């Protein structure tokens, strides 16, 4: 229902901005109200998605439903993997709805005024300047980094919940505390490990040499993202098996 409400509000914003004049004060007020509602629904969808992911994992694994979940003929790591993939799928669907809603909110007459041929020509020039292979590799690296961060965040939440449930009191509050501790530790270790790997002065000096050096620049970025991806995959694996260990050895159902 929240997805439909967001899409409907974005469509209403599109129709209003595309058909009514925005010069009057009344129109400006309506514009402001619609944009405020769009933003409120945008935030609500993100918060609701995160809450649903956390609630499902906690109730299914450590709440009253855990007694049924852990009687299934599967191993704890399989349960954890299914929860991680389902949460990732829900988040991806939410991001797709948000992107679609943002595009839907843009008035149709604005799309008609965009010259797609110029955009295609600019894109082709960019590929010729940096090399199609490097540009494609950079795009894939960025998408991979987004997916990597998504899984790392989900696993950090699950690990924090698992550590929190080891205590008899204040499990939810302690889960929040442990989540921020885990994120802080990951950020600190990442900063220490990659400090000086690629700084802005290196990027600027490479860029200023010549247009041909864009290949080197993108190569540097690809290498940096690739190394970080390997590191974060190791972190994700550690959190996954840490959560699995708690599920197997220190399960504390309510």
State residue 182's pLDDT score: 92
Q: pLDDT tens track of the chain, all 254 residues? A: 778 888 888 888 777 776 655 555 666 677 778 888 888 888 888 888 888 888 888 888 888 788 888 888 888 889 899 988 888 888 888 888 888 888 887 776 666 666 666 666 666 665 555 555 556 666 667 777 777 888 888 899 999 999 988 888 888 889 999 999 999 998 888 888 777 555 545 544 554 444 455 566 666 777 777 788 888 889 989 999 999 999 888 876 66
- Name residue, tokens 């974060």: 232
Q: How many Cβ atoms from other residues are within 10 Å of residue 132's Cβ?
A: 11
- Which of 164, 196, 195, 204 is closest to 180 using CA atoms? 164
| Cα 148 from chain centre | 9
**Whether this model's pTM surpasses 0.85:** no
Residue 73 tokens read as: 């003929």
Alpha-carbon gap, residue 234 to 217, rounded angstroms:
26
Cite the DSSP H helix spans in 62-131: 66-69, 76-105, 108-113, 116-130
Structure confidence at residue 160 (pLDDT): 92
Predicted confidence at residue 24, as pLDDT, reads 57
Q: Helix, strand, or coil here: 240?
A: helix
Q: What is the distance between the alpha carbons of residues 102 and 124, in angstroms, rounded to a whole number?
A: 26
Q: Which pLDDT belongs to residue 124?
A: 62
In whole angstroms, how far apart are CA 210 and each of 3, 128, 205, 216? Answer: 47, 15, 10, 10
């Amino acid at each position: 229902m929240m997805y439909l409400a967001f899409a409907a509000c974005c469509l209403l914003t599109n129709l209003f901005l595309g058909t009514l004049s925005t010069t009057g004060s009344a129109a400006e007020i309506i514009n402001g109200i619609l944009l405020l509602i769009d933003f409120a629904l945008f935030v609500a969808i993100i918060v609701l998605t995160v809450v649903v992911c956390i609630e499902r994992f906690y109730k299914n694994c450590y709440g009253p439903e855990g007694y049924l979940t852990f009687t299934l003929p599967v191993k704890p790591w399989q349960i954890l993997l299914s929860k991680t993939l389902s949460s990732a799928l829900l988040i991806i669907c939410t991001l797709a709805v948000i992107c679609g809603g943002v595009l839907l909110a843009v008035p149709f007459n604005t799309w008609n005024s965009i010259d797609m041929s110029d955009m295609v020509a600019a894109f082709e020039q960019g590929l010729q300047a940096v090399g199609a292979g490097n540009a494609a590799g950079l795009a894939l690296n960025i998408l991979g980094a987004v997916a990597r961060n998504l899984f790392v965040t989900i696993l950090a939440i699950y690990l924090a919940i698992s550590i929190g449930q080891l205590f008899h009191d204040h499990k939810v509050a302690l889960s929040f505390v442990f989540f921020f501790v885990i994120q802080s530790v990951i950020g600190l270790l990442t900063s220490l490990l990659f400090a000086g790997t690629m700084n802005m002065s290196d990027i600027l000096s490479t860029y200023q040499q010549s247009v041909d050096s864009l290949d080197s620049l993108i190569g540097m970025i690809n290498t940096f993202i690739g190394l970080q991806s390997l590191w974060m995959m190791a972190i994700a694996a550690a959190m996954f098996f840490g959560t699995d260990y708690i599920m197997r050895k220190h399960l504390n159902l309510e």
